Amino acid sequence: MAYNKKTFTNSNDTSLNARDELFESYENYNAPKDEKERSLALFLRGSQLARILAIQEIYKEILNIPGAIFDLGTWRGTTPVLCENFRAIYEPLNFQRHIYAFDTFEGYKGFEKEENKVSDINNGKYGVEESYEHTLEKILILHEQNNAMGHINEKHQVIKGDVTQTVPLLLNENPGLSIALAFFDLNCYKPTKESLQLIINRLLNGGIIAFWQFNRKEIQAESELFFELLHSNINYTIHKCETYPSLIYIKKKEK
């Protein structure tokens, strides 16, 4: 089941139609290939740019923190691609900054009955094409090869499956793996809880947990688990991104 742009939006029909027309303009843009590739900003919507700048804001907070980046609920993989490019821009010699992208790639999995209050967000929603994990892996490699020190490969891993199984497996296989940053966009209570519990134990001081749906009344798992697992159990500061206020991040402090 595909993405529905009307599920969560403050845009009216005029804005949504302009979005479609802008993308059609990109598809039909009559320029030589190399010039079209260098002109992508012509077609980048402000709200998409705001998301990119928000991820950049968070990434810059971990430059002095060692450890991996987790993206849980990566969907089509925009966040790990951006993190690879920010890694290359801000810390091109940090080959230990591994990026892990987790998803079923078959849509949401884990919503319990009555948990979600949005009819268009449910189990199976936001699935992508078959074998998309290989497509994303290839895209990450291409970005890596385009970046500084691109001959140093394999700084990424795309992990397909239920995070209640894949996250503990990865951590058990890598007992020395520390985490600097984890993005959460799982939305379901049980998968978010089980993976968050494990990640807290590997999160370094100064490390960050970022929530895409924090305080959203229609999907409350992230906010609920913040109070259940984080609020009284770790010292932290909490921040909203300057350009994208719905992206909230919690920064762990020393006890």
Do residues 243 and 50 lie in contact, with contact meaning Cβ atoms separated by under 8 Å?
yes
Whether residues 109 and 167 fall in one domain = yes
Whether residues 66 and 182 fall in one domain = yes
27: in domain: yes
Do residues 3 and 76 lie in contact, with contact meaning Cβ atoms separated by under 8 Å?
no
Whether residues 105 and 35 fall in one domain = no
Q: How far is CA 186 from each of CA 109, 122, 139, 198, 214, rounded to the nearest angstrom? A: 9, 11, 22, 15, 12
Whether residues 102 and 224 fall in one domain = yes
pLDDT at 1: 52
CATH of the domain at 67: 3.40.50.150
Number of domains the chain is built from: 2
| Boundaries of domain holding 35 | 10-43
pLDDT at 175: 97
Whether residues 130 and 18 fall in one domain = no
Whether residues 20 and 116 fall in one domain = no
pLDDT at 225: 95
221: in domain: yes
**Measured CA angle at 222 (ends 84, 163), to 5 deg:** 60
Question: What residue ranges of the chain have pLDDT lower than 70?
Answer: 1-9, 113, 116-117, 119
Terminal CA-to-CA distance of the chain, rounded, Å? 44
Whether residues 160 and 211 fall in one domain = yes
237: in domain: yes
4: in domain: no
pLDDT at 31: 95
248: in domain: yes
pLDDT at 9: 66
Note the pTM of the prediction, 2 decimals: 0.93
Whether residues 120 and 226 fall in one domain = yes
3: in domain: no
Whether residues 95 and 29 fall in one domain = no
Whether residues 147 and 173 fall in one domain = yes
Whether residues 137 and 244 fall in one domain = yes
pLDDT at 117: 65
Whether residues 25 and 95 fall in one domain = no
35: in domain: yes
Three-state SS for 183?
A: strand
1: in domain: no
